[in-house]
Amino acid sequence: MSGSRLLTRVRERAAVRRYSPRTVDVYVRWIVRFVRFHHLQHPAALGDAAVRTFLTHLASERKVAASTQNQALAALQFLYGEVLERPLGPVQGFLVAKVPRRLPNVLSQDAVRRVLNAMNGTPHLMAALLYGTGLRLSECCQLRVKDLDLDRRELRVRGGKGGRDRITMVPESLVVPLRAHLRAVKVLMARRASTGGGYVTLPGAMDRKAPGASRQWGWCWVFPAAREYWDRVAGQRRTHHLHQTVLQRAVAEAARCAGIGQRVGCHTFRHSFATHLLEAGYDIRTVQELLGHRDVSTTMIYTHVLNRGGRGVRSPLDVPAG
């Protein structure tokens, strides 16, 4: 099996397993790095020892995080188990990357508003949605019209992290801006459809099950890209959702303009959303469901942010003498 054929096979097997496109791309990159590390030898000619050597190299030479090393291991286990049909044994004896204990970066409510006030247009609406709902960046970008119920103030996340669906609320203050935004998007998609475009990518086998759905309003992206692209396979002019980097750059620039000294990214809004809910007295199980965490222990990290520092303990410097 040639190198190109091997990567094609990886993508085919990942599609059968219904892995997200992002996961597939990450796996392919790790497999390519693994092959290059072993001087372009075919993975079929390598084995457990080669995997151990590669993982040790990542920890000792590349100084990668533990999560990155686990990601590489998962990609190689998929390669050998699903593609080459030679499952790896218990991969042991390699240098394990250290797992640092880091607390999430959280902004105050005032700092969040300063960042949002430094933004405008669609990026402002998306950033406000991140903070107001606790969405991940990818979940916000991939939001479809049918999953936004403004009458019930509900937002449904489909196929979130781990393939899990969940429901979160829509902030009351965003209902009117979202309605206005959707009206503008509807006009845009209608104009593209009138010139032969206006198609969107559908998940799974929906292209075959409902061929006309790719132009239906409900399947349109809430935040479409500014330009269309030509899909050579489908032979259609399609609209992709807004790329994540557009919002990432806008948030970074807004934080700089607002004079925020902390490192601020799109995920900072999600961390702030969870912490501020807990500060307001909401139950941690409720916050867990809104965030879509599989285990409440993941949500518990926000209690460390909540109970440490200036909130949980009074500094002796602030205790009056006598």
- Whether residue 267 lies in the annotated active site: yes
Tokens of 257: 């303009």
Closest CA to 303 of 274, 263, 267, 268: 274
How far is Cα of residue 16 from the mean position of the Cα atoms in its chain? 21
- Whether residue 302 lies in the annotated active site: yes
Task: Indicate which residue of 113, 161, 238, 304 is catalytic.
Answer: 161
Q: Where are the beta strands (DSSP E) in the chain?
A: 148-149, 154-157, 166-169, 224-231, 236-241
Cα dist from 49 to 27, 35, 43, whole Å: 20, 14, 12
Closest CA to 182 of 127, 123, 224: 224
- Whether residue 136 lies in the annotated active site: yes
Using an 8 Å Cβ cutoff, are 266 and 227 in contact? no
- Whether residue 240 lies in the annotated active site: no
Q: Where are the beta strands (DSSP E) in 206-314?
A: 224-231, 236-241
Tokens of 264: 């601020």
Half-sphere exposure of 52 (CA within 13 A, CB side): 11
Tokens of 288: 């867990």
- Whether residue 249 lies in the annotated active site: no
155/216 Cα distance (integer angstroms): 19
Residue 45's φ and ψ, nearest 5 degrees, are -90, -5
Tokens of 5: 């054929």
* Catalytic (active-site) positions: 136, 161, 267, 270, 293, 302
